[in-house]
Amino acid sequence: MIKCLYDLKMKQKLFIGAALLLLLAIIAVMSYDLFFKNVNNVENQYEYNIKNLKKVDTNLLCYHESFQIKPNASKLYGISIDKRDNIYVTADDKVFHYNRNGDSINSFKIDGKAGCIATGSKGELYLGFKDHLEIWDSSGKLITKWDRIPGLPFITCVAVDDSSVFIADAGNKIVHRYNFKGQLINQIGKKDPNKGIPGFFIPSPYFDVLIGHQNEIWAVNTGRHEFESYTKDGELISMFKKTSMTVDGFSGCCNPTNIAMLSDGSFVTSEKGIERVKIHSANGDFKCVVASSDQFIEGTTGLDLAVDSKDRIFVLDPGKGMIRIFKKK
């Protein structure tokens, strides 16, 4: 009887000892994984990887790069082209002026950073600073400076027609319409469920606006990947949404960041996250790629766009510090 009890206790000790050794082995393996293993050499199956999404079938490329313009500046902000195909660029604390061939005409200094620029019918330049707008002539003379926009303004785009100035304000999440005296006429895009207006969802300072060929106002609701058109008085005309992880749509927190319009009403679009420039038809259908991600430095943002009378596409590339001109193949 005594021997049986002794054998039982020995078995229990052996079992406990083996269990402790197993537990110590598990802890050692976990500690190695957590603290010593080189995680850089191990693929994380849960990591969000967009490298494959950046690859583009070369058959989708419909434009080729023809030449570049490189301003003598450290940081590029905005681009605009007038009716004579003159090119204007804001960079650092200056405005650079080029002819249609990219030859320099002049440059002039301004007081601060103008994040965006538009050209008027008489050649005047509308410069959007963070909280106000200034009007200059092409020789570098300040014509007028408008009052600061109330609230928390962050001007990201300016568009001008024969009667109004439209300012996209990412801070206040609205499009302001002014007359040429700087007086507010109305606002566009304010949330109104009764009229089907969702309101602008702008998570970051990328918010573009343009005037369409039928005098409609197009604005990009970047947080929703949505294009919205309005009358000048703010009545919603139409909208379409293109959310997709593939090349035919837009993804991320706020895309497309910038838009321009070709002569046939198609949209030229640029993105951040997946750095590329594309063309979508007037109803939003994907058409082709102008420039793929491998043509940009990774992480490039602020790819402002402009189109001239020949449908050449001008891409302001802050990463490479140049304006890149693309022609249809």
Question: DSSP secondary structure string, 20-76?
Answer: HHHHHHHHHHHHIIIIIS-GGGS--TTS---HHHH---GGGB-EEEEEEE--S-S-E
Gap between the Cα atoms of 162 and 142, Å rounded:
20
Give the tens place of pLDDT for each residue, 107-156. 999 999 999 999 999 999 999 999 999 999 999 999 999 999 999 999 99
Long-range contacts of 217-220 (CB under 8 A, 24+ apart): 217/159, 217/166, 217/175, 217/188, 218/259, 218/261, 218/267, 219/168, 219/175, 219/188, 219/189, 220/256, 220/259
Which of 302 and 5 is assigned the larger pLDDT? 302
Query: Out of 55-64, 126-135, 215-224, which region has the weakest mean confidence (pLDDT)?
Result: 55-64
pLDDT band (50, 70, 90) for residue 53:
confident
Give the tens place of pLDDT for each residue, 270-313. 999 999 999 999 999 999 999 999 999 999 999 999 999 999 99
pLDDT at 27: 54
* Residue 243 in this model has a pLDDT that exceeds 90: yes
* Residue 11 in this model has a pLDDT that exceeds 70: no
Q: Which DSSP letter does residue 253 get? A: S
* Residue 190 in this model has a pLDDT that exceeds 70: yes
**What is the Cα 247 distance to its own chain's centre?**
15
pLDDT at 78: 98
Dihedrals φ, ψ of 53, to 5°? -70, -20
Q: Which DSSP letter does residue 293 get? A: G
* Residue 1 in this model has a pLDDT that exceeds 50: no
Gap between the Cα atoms of 27 and 33, Å rounded:
10
pLDDT at 93: 97
pLDDT band (50, 70, 90) for residue 5:
very low
pLDDT at 40: 43
* Residue 39 in this model has a pLDDT that exceeds 50: no
Give the tens place of pLDDT for each residue, 83-105. 999 999 999 999 999 999 999 99
Dihedrals φ, ψ of 58, to 5°? -60, -20
Question: DSSP secondary structure string, 264-281?
Answer: TSPEEEE-SSS--EEEE-
Question: DSSP secondary structure string, 137-196?
Answer: -TTS-EEEEPPPPSSS--EEEEEE-SS-EEEEETTTTEEEEE-TTS-EEEEE---BGGGT
pLDDT band (50, 70, 90) for residue 25:
low
Q: What is the mean pLDDT of residues 163-186?
A: 98
pLDDT band (50, 70, 90) for residue 30:
very low
Cis upstream peptide for 198 (omega within 30°)? no
CATH of region 52-328, choose from 3.20.20.70, 3.30.70.270, 2.120.10.30, 3.10.20.30: 2.120.10.30
Residue 82 to residues 120, 174, 182, 281, 321, Cα–Cα distance (Å): 7, 25, 21, 23, 22
Judged by DSSP in three states, 236 sits in: strand
Mean pLDDT score of the chain: 89
Contact 277, 303 (CB under 8 A): yes
pLDDT band (50, 70, 90) for residue 52:
confident
Gap between the Cα atoms of 327 and 307, Å rounded:
10
323: Cβ contacts below 8 Å, ≥ 6 apart:
68, 69, 70, 71, 76, 79, 87, 89, 102, 314, 315, 316, 317
* Residue 42 in this model has a pLDDT that exceeds 80: no
pLDDT at 166: 98
Both structure tokens of 45? 């199956």
Contact 137, 106 (CB under 8 A): no
* Residue 177 in this model has a pLDDT that exceeds 80: yes
